Chain A
């Protein structure tokens, strides 16, 4: 639908998170395109992270053997190594189950996104994403990581019937079972469920997810979210499609 696409330079209500310790969090970027790499490095450094940039998989793995960073941003296509990013992700995940991994790539196909997420990546972003959005994502991941280590706070919880959202840890439970959502999916559910019954159009959902997503991508995301809920509860039908408008979370 030809919804108005606002300029997403201003990234809404997600708070920017500054490094919490003196010791800056270490982010590793694996990207073969020097110009983009340098731009990302500059942006992350500006946000106060310490950044290591690598051009190729071998180089990155050697460095990771020595010490794992706090978060890794990987491009899939690394020079001649067409699927190098996937390989890297698999190896990293096998070493560190909790390490946040973000794919940042030019490949926008559904197939690649699903593959990447299946390998255990926490997010799959295309290079369309703006730097502020990217920063917000990274900050959110760190925040979730931090929240996981703290005791659960009642304040950060939103409960809508069977649905329970922990905004700190960015986790969602349905019928007391954890639903494994990516950050984007979390924010989409969060945006819909915060005001049940209200139709959220695609633009609103896009803004909430801090991503530039086109209609098809939103559709795919909603489909994936539904599938994940249905996996837990086959009778799940809380997300309604309002044709021509958007989606809404049905109140009980």
Chain B
């Protein structure tokens, strides 16, 4: 993994920032919410105490013999619906309708109360509507049967009435009241029967004063006049259950208790809503809600969710069945927390029982919108997200840039060091040498190492000529002494020794001369006046000469270049060629062919000397042309490894380059020489 990736990975740590910020906001929000809940709870206790002073407003006591749900709930209506058999002018939602199981499908009904009038609306699925025969009074007493809706109204102990709605044809219906005194139509009850596909609908208005404390609805559905009808009944026990509706008196009381922005809902002991006041303020929440989609997604992912806010709404059926209501009815104080992801609206709810003489006579729910908290959190969250996002991006970008810069510096340094090593420019300064950091240190120590290497190379380069210079005088002593000795009378053995000593000294002289060759070539090049000459002609003539000199080798001159003008010293070029050919001869066998080639490539002349023979070891490739490096086989130790060094000096002196490569069957030395412009 490179430095850039590593640092980028490290920069991911900045993601802790938004997390920490979120944690903080979350804590703040929880604290605020708990604070609000406690405040609401204390308000609720006060309300609970107040409500407890009106025990008469609560339906009496627990109804042990009734099943919760059997009760008929009178929904408070805002306006009077027209008695036309349709539900659409009712001021409550369709979801307020209760369903009963019927023969041909569900039976829906609802009861509403407005201005001392009770309204009944029943929707019956009936595949075969059987109308009443004229004169028939009750649907279940025979001799003929018909479809009908009856409302059973009782007040235990003294009242027991059944109001029958049946029709001889669709349209207005005359309700018939049956009680202990007989059966008779009641004109104060107005009703309409409306046929619809798949069934019928009945809408009726009954004065509240006609109704008892308990109500039940029975729908009779018969397949034919002769068949006894099936019943759909609202109550499960023998008798109808209580008729529960909003108490106007209690509503007045709660209107005075509920504060702005709060909703107060009071239920009886079964959970039926008997009063509702106030409303949740939501206007501000809309403004503070999170606008952009992605932020909302983020928000939902981060924020602790409450129950959906819709659940905080009053039950459309009138029976408040929430957990916290049930708990309150059981005598416990409880709280709920609702949140709408859609609008960002949230509701805190507190439910408490109303206790009189140690028994709960009902419960109430106090709800308050937590818009203030939410907007605080939302805005804080948005700001936090923005700031941390920018900070994270900034940190990541900075780290990325820094890593790029750092790795570029290091790469430049390493490239420069490699280049310096390859190209022999060991003294050139390296990048970052002046910076005070570790990269600078690295650069400086690289430079130091390279300088030492350069010093060592210089030492090696001059060693040969220095050595040869120092050895020349003692060699002259030996040589002149031996030459003098020749003039002295010597016996045979002494003469032999003297001759051997001379040949040894001669060899030594040749070695010394070879050792100082490099410095003489350098000197010569410094003073040489470049002349123009044709490299091809020079090569062609030298090849002829090589054939004479090295009779054991074949020489081939391979070039399709017609003329190759260049500037320089032809003598030195030949000297370079001599070294290369000498090298090629040394590494090839008798009978091998050594090929000299010349090519033109753009503005460069490529001179090649190739020979069959053992390949160059790869590790020696760069040192091959250094002073005193020889790769000749051990026994041939007369070579000091100066030949190729001299060849390199000459090539570079002409602005060229020399290198060596392995070929399929041997080695090729190439010299690239620049052509003069034009």
Q: Are A2 and B541 in contact, with the CB atoms below 8 A?
A: no
State which of A106, A127, A241 has its C-beta within 8 Å of the C-beta of B571.
A241
Q: Are B476 and A219 in contact, with the CB atoms below 8 A?
A: no
Does B639 sit at the interface, judged by CB under 8 A? Answer: no
Q: Which residues from chain A contact B460 at a C-beta distance below 8 Å?
A: none
Q: Which residues from chain B contact A2 at a C-beta distance below 8 Å?
A: 549, 578, 582
Q: Are B582 and A131 in contact, with the CB atoms below 8 A?
A: no
Q: Which residues from chain B contact A231 at a C-beta distance below 8 Å?
A: none
Q: Which residues from chain B contact A62 at a C-beta distance below 8 Å?
A: none
Does B510 sit at the interface, judged by CB under 8 A? Answer: yes
CB B153 to nearest CB in A, in angstroms, measures 139
Q: Are A42 and B527 in contact, with the CB atoms below 8 A?
A: no
Q: Which residues from chain A contact B546 at a C-beta distance below 8 Å?
A: 244
Q: Which residues from chain B contact A43 at a C-beta distance below 8 Å?
A: 480, 483-484
Q: Which residues from chain A contact B602 at a C-beta distance below 8 Å?
A: none
Interface residues in A202-244 by Cβ distance below 8 A to B read 212, 214-217, 219-220, 241-244
Q: Which residues from chain A contact B469 at a C-beta distance below 8 Å?
A: 106-108
CB A191 to nearest CB in B, in angstroms, measures 18
State which of A35, A46, A130, A215 has its C-beta within 8 Å of the C-beta of B481.
A35
State which of A35, A110, A214 has its C-beta within 8 Å of the C-beta of B517.
A214
Task: Identify the closest chain B residue to A108 (Cβ).
Answer: B516
Q: Which residues from chain B contact A127 at a C-beta distance below 8 Å?
A: 472-473, 475-476
Q: Are B542 and A244 in contact, with the CB atoms below 8 A?
A: yes
Q: Classify chain B's interface size.
A: 35 or more
Q: Are A216 and B545 in contact, with the CB atoms below 8 A?
A: no
Q: Are B575 and A36 in contact, with the CB atoms below 8 A?
A: no
Q: Are B524 and A219 in contact, with the CB atoms below 8 A?
A: yes
Q: Are B570 and A39 in contact, with the CB atoms below 8 A?
A: no
Does A63 sit at the interface, judged by CB under 8 A? Answer: no
Q: Which residues from chain A contact B483 at a C-beta distance below 8 Å?
A: 39, 43, 130-132
Does A149 sit at the interface, judged by CB under 8 A? Answer: no
Does B467 sit at the interface, judged by CB under 8 A? Answer: no
Known contacts A7-B506, A106-B473, A220-B524, A130 near B479 by CB under 8 Å? yes
| CA gap between A9 and B486 in the complex, in Å | 11
Does B574 sit at the interface, judged by CB under 8 A? Answer: yes
Q: Are A216 and B521 in contact, with the CB atoms below 8 A?
A: yes
Q: Which residues from chain B contact A212 at a C-beta distance below 8 Å?
A: 509
Q: Which residues from chain B contact A242 at a C-beta distance below 8 Å?
A: 541
Q: Which residues from chain A contact B575 at a C-beta distance below 8 Å?
A: 1, 215-216
Interface residues in A86-130 by Cβ distance below 8 A to B read 106-111, 126-128, 130
Does A5 sit at the interface, judged by CB under 8 A? Answer: yes
| CA gap between A132 and B521 in the complex, in Å | 29
Q: Which residues from chain B contact A106 at a C-beta distance below 8 Å?
A: 469, 472-473, 476
CB A175 to nearest CB in B, in angstroms, measures 24
CB B178 to nearest CB in A, in angstroms, measures 146
Q: Which residues from chain A contact B542 at a C-beta distance below 8 Å?
A: 243-244
Does B513 sit at the interface, judged by CB under 8 A? Answer: yes
Does A148 sit at the interface, judged by CB under 8 A? Answer: no
Task: Identify the closest chain A residue to B578 (Cβ).
Answer: A1
Does B448 sit at the interface, judged by CB under 8 A? Answer: no
State which of A39, A215, A219 has its C-beta within 8 Å of the C-beta of B480.
A39
Q: Which residues from chain B contact A241 at a C-beta distance below 8 Å?
A: 570-571
Q: Are B521 and A131 in contact, with the CB atoms below 8 A?
A: no
Does A186 sit at the interface, judged by CB under 8 A? Answer: no
Q: Are A109 and B520 in contact, with the CB atoms below 8 A?
A: yes
Q: Which residues from chain A contact B578 at a C-beta distance below 8 Å?
A: 1-2
Q: Are A39 and B477 in contact, with the CB atoms below 8 A?
A: yes
CB B631 to nearest CB in A, in angstroms, measures 19
| CA gap between A108 and B570 in the complex, in Å | 22
Q: Which residues from chain B contact A219 at a C-beta distance below 8 Å?
A: 524, 571
| CA gap between A9 and B509 in the complex, in Å | 14
Q: Which residues from chain A contact B484 at a C-beta distance below 8 Å?
A: 39, 42-43, 46, 131
Q: Are B520 and A216 in contact, with the CB atoms below 8 A?
A: yes
Does A58 sit at the interface, judged by CB under 8 A? Answer: no
Interface residues in B360-387 by Cβ distance below 8 A to A read none
Task: Identify the closest chain A residue to B514 (Cβ).
Answer: A214
Does A33 sit at the interface, judged by CB under 8 A? Answer: yes
Q: Which residues from chain B contact A178 at a C-beta distance below 8 Å?
A: none
Does A249 sit at the interface, judged by CB under 8 A? Answer: no
| CA gap between A215 and B473 in the complex, in Å | 22
CB A247 to nearest CB in B, in angstroms, measures 11
CB B494 to nearest CB in A, in angstroms, measures 17
Q: Are A109 and B473 in contact, with the CB atoms below 8 A?
A: no
State which of A5, A108, A215, A245 has its C-beta within 8 Å of the C-beta of B541.
A245
| CA gap between A189 and B390 in the complex, in Å | 89
| CA gap between A215 and B521 in the complex, in Å | 10
CB pairs A–B below 8 angstroms (9 shown): A2-B582, A106-B473, A110-B524, A128-B513, A219-B524, A219-B571, A243-B545, A244-B538, A245-B545
Residues of chain A having any CB pair with chain B under 8 Å: 1-3, 5, 7, 9, 33, 35-36, 39-40, 42-43, 46, 106-111, 126-128, 130-132, 212, 214-217, 219-220, 241-245
Residues of chain B having any CB pair with chain A under 8 Å: 469, 472-473, 475-477, 479-481, 483-484, 487, 502, 506, 509-510, 513, 516-517, 519-521, 523-524, 527, 537-538, 541-546, 549, 570-571, 574-575, 578, 582
Q: Give 6 nearest A-B pairs by CB, closest first.
A: A244-B545, A244-B542, A127-B476, A39-B480, A131-B483, A106-B472
